[in-house]
């Protein structure tokens, strides 16, 4: 007994000591903030429509809000409902304070929506044509509210919430607020220019990718809330450009490696997504120069590269799966051509990483302290890579006029960027642009010297989502959808299409369509690297070039995050003689080339 008492005392002392943590306890990396409703979209029931507005703006956030035990706030009688708008897309939950007039254990139905119409939708299987689901996150739930208390409900991506009284007794809403949960990531990169529409697109792209930085880098905050390694690449590019070093990126790469055997499986079950993992690792290493982190994945990388090489034919063509993105999936020949470009890019990245591992410590890596010397495996795998890589480089796939495929071929060097622009990328306006591969289309346009056309694509395509009420960018989008359609922040309009519920394909039909998808954040990185023209030239961002391309803009200014050193700031403006005047401010550790 004495021993037990001593053990109990020791445990109590440990728990009381500063910073003590239970085994397995971790800290949530996200920050929680409370968001008041911006407006009442609609309400059903009298006098609810007149009283619901008091839920907007600042409240006391305590039950009761009014006279003690009497409370104050709108009352939902049986069958009453209201829809609240929180003003912008959020990730988090809903907190409801219920008052004295609420019956003990009274039920309400809560429906989250990325659009107003989604809050009005029924779940799949409960109505003909219904596409709303509770997949990945519960967005439609019946819950009990306490008498004189509060309850927090759900965790999903949403802007709107609908509350229905489905019980027998009245429900008094003392307050309703959203609980936003997002990683607090300091902005180092920035972009602003003479075109307010481009500014709005850039800000929205940054918000989109930050919201998707949750436990890991997710593809979406409503659906799928998963780590998809292909989706992650444009997110990684945006995160590095704007926020710089963020632990969520290597944590995501670690997660993907931990859940995929390197020599017998593919990332996310898709061969192309293993190629994207190699590309993501290369992006991280180029930015950080962290040899120790790269060394951590040395064995995994070597086995992954060997697995990839087993799937390259003697003709240099990829023999495994060819998924690029959903809009390209219908054209298998184009998807195969685009995958060949992705393969070339991934092999080049693999050669770069293996060379880094093979080099003596203290070479290009800027943070090599504690790293072990490179294994001979890296040198051996690098030698095995040379032949297949050369065979892939000799292929000249046909993109079949599909812009996603043309972009990958142009960026990989398998086809000339100007040729791809004239035959595919520059044709048919913005048709064929997708939210995921739109980033690579912008990059390929710039490679072809067509930054001005790329600026129009950003304005019209990503700006088209803003015109439909978007506050984050979507899983997919087609400008044709906007014809005779109502916005996401409107109640349904008779005779018009629902931009959310009536479109989509494959796994994102109707309300299953995610309206905050990180792969759509490409303009966040592209505007910095091509309009401002700030691009790192070496591992660790110690040397940066600045070559702005204003297109039709009068001026642009902003910054790029540079590894461990802070940021490089640039302002470019068109002078009266038509020339571009450039001013640069950089950390002393960073060399800038004009």
Q: Reply yes or no on whether the pLDDT at 12 is more than 70.
A: no
- Which pLDDT belongs to residue 343? 98
Where residue 398 sits, what CATH number does that domain have? Answer: 1.50.10.10
Distance in angstroms (rounded) separating the CA atoms of residues 523 and 461: 11
Distance in angstroms (rounded) separating the CA atoms of residues 231 and 480: 24
The domain boundary residue, chosen from 182, 198, 233: 182
Q: How large is the average pLDDT for residues 429-449? A: 97
Same domain (yes/no): 172, 198: no
Residue 590 is assigned to a structural domain of this protein: no
Same domain (yes/no): 464, 330: yes
> How many domains is the chain built from?
2
- Which pLDDT belongs to residue 45? 72
Same domain (yes/no): 66, 146: yes
* DSSP β-bridge partners for residue 561: 567
* DSSP β-bridge partners for residue 213: 217
Choose among 252, 245, 250: nearest CA to 267.
252
Q: How far is CA 329 from CA 268, 333, 417, 444, 475, in A?
A: 17, 9, 23, 20, 15
Residue 119 is assigned to a structural domain of this protein: yes
Q: With cut-offs at 50, 70 and 90, classify the pLDDT of residue 371.
A: very low
Secondary element (H or E) of residue 9: helix 2-16
Distance in angstroms (rounded) separating the CA atoms of residues 78 and 81: 9
Same domain (yes/no): 97, 203: no
Secondary element (H or E) of residue 51: helix 48-51
Could you tell me if 457 and 433 are in contact, meaning their C-beta atoms sit under 8 angstroms apart? yes
Q: With cut-offs at 50, 70 and 90, classify the pLDDT of residue 508.
A: very high
Q: Reply yes or no on whether the pLDDT at 167 is more than 80.
A: yes
Same domain (yes/no): 216, 313: yes
CA 139 to chain CA mean position, Å: 20
Distance in angstroms (rounded) separating the CA atoms of residues 33 and 52: 23
Residue 521 is assigned to a structural domain of this protein: yes
* DSSP β-bridge partners for residue 581: 573
- Which pLDDT belongs to residue 363? 52
Least confident of 11-25, 58-72, 130-144, 518-532: 11-25
Same domain (yes/no): 145, 238: no
Same domain (yes/no): 118, 227: no
Cβ contacts of 126 within 8 Å, gap of 6 or more:
none
Q: Reply yes or no on whether the pLDDT at 48 is more than 80.
A: no
Same domain (yes/no): 458, 406: yes
Same domain (yes/no): 417, 285: yes
- Which pLDDT belongs to residue 235? 98
Tens digit of pLDDT for each residue in 335-365? 999 999 999 999 999 999 999 999 876 555 5
- Which pLDDT belongs to residue 5? 59
Choose among 137, 187, 135, 175: nearest CA to 157.
137
Residue 84 is assigned to a structural domain of this protein: yes
Distance in angstroms (rounded) separating the CA atoms of residues 376 and 358: 8
Q: Reply yes or no on whether the pLDDT at 13 is more than 60.
A: no
Could you tell me if 212 and 552 are in contact, meaning their C-beta atoms sit under 8 angstroms apart? no
- Which pLDDT belongs to residue 124? 87
- Which pLDDT belongs to residue 2? 58
Residue 12 is assigned to a structural domain of this protein: no
Helices (H), 318-450: 332-358, 376-393, 403-412, 417-420, 438-447
Choose among 526, 548, 543, 528: nearest CA to 587.
543
Same domain (yes/no): 173, 210: no
Q: Reply yes or no on whether the pLDDT at 19 is more than 80.
A: no
Same domain (yes/no): 90, 205: no
Could you tell me if 115 and 132 are in contact, meaning their C-beta atoms sit under 8 angstroms apart? no
Residue 373 is assigned to a structural domain of this protein: yes
Residue 587's φ and ψ, nearest 5 degrees, are -65, 155
Same domain (yes/no): 157, 234: no
Residue 387 is assigned to a structural domain of this protein: yes
Q: How large is the average pLDDT for residues 185-189? A: 98
Choose among 298, 402, 284, 300: nearest CA to 341.
402
The domain boundary residue, chosen from 182, 204, 233: 182
Please provide the average confidence, as pLDDT, over all residues in the chain: 93
Q: How far is CA 273 from CA 265, 483, 522, in A?
A: 11, 34, 18
Distance in angstroms (rounded) separating the CA atoms of residues 569 and 584: 6
Q: Reply yes or no on whether the pLDDT at 441 is more than 90.
A: yes
Residue 36 is assigned to a structural domain of this protein: yes
Assigned token pair, 179: 């609980």
The domain boundary residue, chosen from 182, 208, 234: 182
Q: Reply yes or no on whether the pLDDT at 367 is more than 80.
A: no
Where residue 46 sits, what CATH number does that domain have? Answer: 2.60.120.260
Q: How large is the average pLDDT for residues 409-437? A: 97
- Which pLDDT belongs to residue 370? 44
Tens digit of pLDDT for each residue in 450-487? 999 999 999 999 999 999 999 999 999 999 999 999 99
Residue numbers of the domain that contains 142: 31-182
Q: With cut-offs at 50, 70 and 90, classify the pLDDT of residue 3.
A: low
Q: With cut-offs at 50, 70 and 90, classify the pLDDT of residue 369.
A: very low
Least confident of 98-102, 158-162, 235-239, 527-531: 98-102
Mapped to the 3 state alphabet, what secondary structure does 363-374 carry? Answer: CCCCCCCCCCCC
Q: How large is the average pLDDT for residues 388-399? A: 97
Q: Reply yes or no on whether the pLDDT at 11 is more than 50.
A: no
Percent of the chain topping pLDDT 70:
93
Q: How large is the average pLDDT for residues 150-168? A: 96
């Amino acid at each position: 007994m004495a021993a037990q008492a001593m053990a109990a005392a020791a445990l109590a002392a440990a728990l009381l000591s500063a910073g003590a943590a239970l085994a397995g306890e971790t800290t949530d990396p996200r920050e929680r903030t409370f968001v008041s409703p911006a407006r009442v979209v609609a309400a059903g029931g009298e006098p609810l429509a007149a009283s619901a507005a008091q839920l907007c703006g600042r409240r006391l956030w305590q039950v009761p809000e009014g006279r003690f035990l009497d409370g104050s706030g709108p009352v939902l009688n049986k069958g009453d409902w209201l829809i609240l708008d929180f003003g912008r897309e959020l990730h988090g939950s809903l907190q409801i304070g219920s008052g004295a007039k609420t019956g003990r254990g009274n039920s309400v139905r809560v429906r989250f929506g990325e659009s107003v119409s989604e809050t009005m939708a029924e779940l799949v299987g409960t109505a003909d044509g219904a596409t709303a689901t509770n997949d990945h996150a519960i967005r439609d739930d019946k819950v009990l509210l306490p008498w004189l208390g509060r309850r927090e409900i759900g965790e999903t991506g949403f802007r709107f919430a609908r509350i229905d009284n489905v019980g027998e007794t009245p429900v008094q809403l003392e307050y309703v607020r959203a609980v936003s949960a997002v990683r607090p990531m300091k902005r180092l990169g920035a972009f602003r220019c003479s075109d307010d529409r481009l500014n709005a697109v850039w800000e929205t792209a940054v918000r989109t990718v930050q919201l998707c930085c949750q436990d890991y880098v997710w593809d979406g905050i409503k659906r799928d809330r998963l780590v998809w390694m292909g989706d992650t690449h444009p997110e990684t590019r945006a995160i590095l450009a704007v926020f710089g070093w963020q632990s969520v990126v290597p944590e995501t790469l670690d997660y993907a490696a931990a859940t995929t055997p390197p020599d017998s499986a593919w990332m996310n079950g898709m061969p192309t997504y293993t190629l994207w993992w190699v590309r993501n690792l290369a992006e991280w290493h180029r930015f950080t120069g962290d040899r120790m982190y790269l060394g951590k994945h040395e064995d995994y990388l070597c086995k992954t590269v060997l697995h990839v090489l087993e799937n390259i034919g003697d003709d240099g063509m990829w023999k495994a799966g060819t998924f690029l993105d959903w809009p390209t999936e219908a054209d298998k020949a184009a998807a195969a051509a685009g995958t060949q470009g992705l393969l070339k890019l991934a092999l080049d990245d693999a050669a770069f990483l293996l060379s880094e591992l093979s080099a003596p410590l203290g070479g290009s890596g800027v943070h090599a302290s504690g790293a072990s010397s490179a294994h001979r495996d890296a040198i051996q795998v690098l030698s095995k890579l040379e032949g297949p890589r050369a065979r892939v480089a000799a292929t000249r796939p046909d993109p079949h006029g599909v812009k996603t495929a043309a972009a990958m071929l142009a960026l990989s060097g398998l086809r000339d960027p100007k040729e791809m622009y004239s035959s595919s990328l520059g044709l048919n306006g913005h048709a064929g642009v997708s939210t995921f591969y739109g980033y690579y289309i912008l990059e390929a346009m710039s490679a072809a010297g067509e930054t001005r056309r790329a600026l129009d694509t950003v304005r019209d395509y990503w700006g088209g989502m803003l015109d439909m009420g978007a506050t984050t960018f979507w899983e997919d989008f087609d400008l044709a959808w906007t014809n005779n359609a109502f916005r996401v922040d409107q109640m349904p309009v008779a005779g018009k299409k629902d931009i959310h519920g009536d479109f989509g394909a494959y796994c994102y039909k109707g309300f299953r369509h995610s309206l905050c998808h990180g792969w759509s954040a490409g303009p966040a990185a592209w505007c910095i690297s091509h309009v401002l023209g700030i691009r790192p030239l070496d591992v660790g961002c110690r040397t940066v070039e600045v070559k702005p391309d204003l297109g039709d803009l009068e001026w642009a200014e902003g910054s790029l995050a540079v590894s461990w050193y802070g940021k490089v700031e640039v302002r470019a403006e068109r002078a009266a003689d038509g020339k571009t005047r450039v001013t640069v401010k950089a950390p002393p550790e960073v060399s800038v080339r004009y």
